[in-house]
Amino acid sequence: MAQPAMSVTPYWELTFDADGDPDGRERDRLLAEVPDRGVHDLIVFAHGWNNDRSGATSLYRRFFAPIPKLAPKAKIGYVGVVWPSMRFCDEPIPDFPKSVVAMEAEAAPASESALDKDTRHALFEAFPGRATVVDQIARMLDQRPDNELDEFGRLVRLLVEVVPGGPQPLFAADTLAEGVPQSEPVLFTGDAATLCDEFAQALASLRSGGDPEGFSLPNPWDGAKELLRQAAYYAMKRRAGTVGERGLGRVVGQLAAAAPEVRVHLVGHSFGGRLVSFALRGLPEGVHSVKSVTLLQGAFSHYAFAARLPQDARAGGVLQGQQNRIDGPLVCCYSHFDQALGTLYPLASRMANENNAVAGFDLGRTLGPEWGAMGHDGVQAVSGTEQLDLARALAGPLPASGCVNVDAAAVVNRGGPPSGAHSDIVHPELARVVLTAGRII
């Protein structure tokens, strides 16, 4: 029987800390039991924005639920990866209940920019030892003191451990330029008032449906919470890469030694997509057990797998060529309804680029393709990438190797600002994409 908290069996959880170290007992149980359970295909799912184990388990329970009926004859095992990421509690997730605090905040527009109790607790958990800083940030968001945005920016940098001139940069970049050293991103070194003003205008544009006549000039404090949100998410971006490369990749290699006949299928949502992609870089040499990778609204650069960037021949993706570690396809599901990746991600990415000064956010134009995310328009600048709509992908078969973009907007389309449809991924159609990518059905 399935575990009470899970819809499928056999199911294992695999927990990692921020440094990529796995829970030893969970790892050992997985390595010992998979060979004895008759598993032929193992689906390993990594969540993205999330605040606790129960939220991750709820996602896995609902996403996995239709799979036994979709592939009744397959011998499938399931793994839910749990890693320390965070989500702001006011972000809507379709079909998931909102916290009471978030609903109360929604009913009180005046406090829209303030931190609710759940989000404050999530920040405590994500950044241990920074409780005083979180309290100071929360107080400033609530009071909006005049001429204090620079101090707010300093506190945000302190929270996520970005100290100007410090020894360890925050970012694990998705694109790298040859011979150009990384420096601290503008997102954390630029003028905080200017940055907050850009985010405020972007949010106002989203809420007005993109009509610049539909909103008045916002207060820069309206964008302060988004600056905090993006700083936290970029800290999670670094963490996702670390957990994937140093943690999950190594465990998949150990599993290949313990159960060489088991076919592994990696699935990741949001930053979990980055996590499972970096797991490819962490695979030991000679391991060919990963038979498919499916990215659901991946929150990392659409050039991550590119050998060369269209706008800079010196630069390439940090994961260039890693798709060749898969003995099967890399399938990227994306949706233009994902506002988090369509507007806020590219804006933050532009701010994170050390070679570009922050200019005013032009509500009448779209930011250039150099700032795009996987989950908004798919894998870019990788030769041979196939482009399919969801119906064609489900009709199968998918290519036996290489990158495949699947426009999933037919089902990934629900959710309001600031995230849009970013978390609208629990659909049987997407579960079928995973099974089709892995040739399980």
As given in the structure block, the two tokens for residue 282 are 């962490």
Mean pLDDT over 69-73 rounds to 97
What the block records as the tokens of 319 is 């994961």
- Is 327 exposed, middle or buried (CB count within 10 Å of its CB: 0-12, 13-18, 19+)? middle
Closest residue by Cα to residue 372 from 312, 308, 297, 433:
297
The lowest-confidence range among 11-15, 61-65, 211-215, 226-230 is: 211-215
pLDDT confidence bin for 346, thresholds 50/70/90: low
Mean pLDDT of 335-353: 73
Which bin fits 172, alpha (ψ -120 to 50), beta or left (φ > 0)? beta
Return the residue matching tokens 């969540």: 47
313, 276 Cβ separation under 8 angstroms: no
Average the pLDDT over each of 43-52, 62-71, 105-114 and give the range with the smallest value: 105-114
Tokens of 397: 């078969």
DSSP SS3 for 182: coil
CB 183 within 8 Å of CB 332: no
Task: Please give the pLDDT value at position 177.
Answer: 62
Task: At 354, list the tokens.
Answer: 């050390």
- Which is more confident, 184 or 145? 145
Q: Dump pLDDT digits (tens) for 96-127.
A: 554 433 444 444 443 456 888 888 988 998 88
Helix/strand/coil for 149: helix
* Residues 235, 53: Cα–Cα separation, whole Å: 19
C-alpha dihedral sign at 187, 192, 194, 200: positive
User: How far from 351 is each of 185, 234, 252, 368, CA to CA, in Å?
Assistant: 7, 12, 35, 13
In this predicted structure, which of 110-119, 198-207, 310-319, 421-430 has the lowest mean pLDDT?
A: 110-119
- Count CB atoms within 10 A of the CB of residue 367: 17
Residue range 341-356: average pLDDT?
Answer: 59
Residue 70: helix, strand or coil by DSSP?
A: helix
Say if residues 385 and 402 touch (Cβ distance below 8 Å). yes
Q: Largest Cα–Cα distance in the chain?
A: 65
Average pLDDT score over the chain: 84
Q: How far apart are CA 156 and CA 162, in angstroms?
A: 8
Strands 175-177 and 315-317, sheet pairing:
antiparallel
pLDDT-derived band at 148 (thresholds 50, 70, 90) equals very high
Cβ pair 296, 269 in contact under 8 A? yes
Q: Return all residues near 350 (Cβ < 8 A) that are at least 6 apart.
A: 356, 358, 367, 371
In this prediction, residue 216 carries a pLDDT of 61
Instruction: Write the pLDDT tens digit of every residue in 363-415.
Output: 333 445 566 789 999 999 999 999 999 999 999 999 999 999 999 999 999 99
Q: How would you label 297-323 residue by residue, b for 16+ Cβ within 10 Å and e otherwise?
A: bbbbbbbbbbeebeeeeebbbbbbebb
pLDDT at 379: 97
Q: Identify the CA nearest to 399 among candidates 409, 384, 389, 410.
A: 384
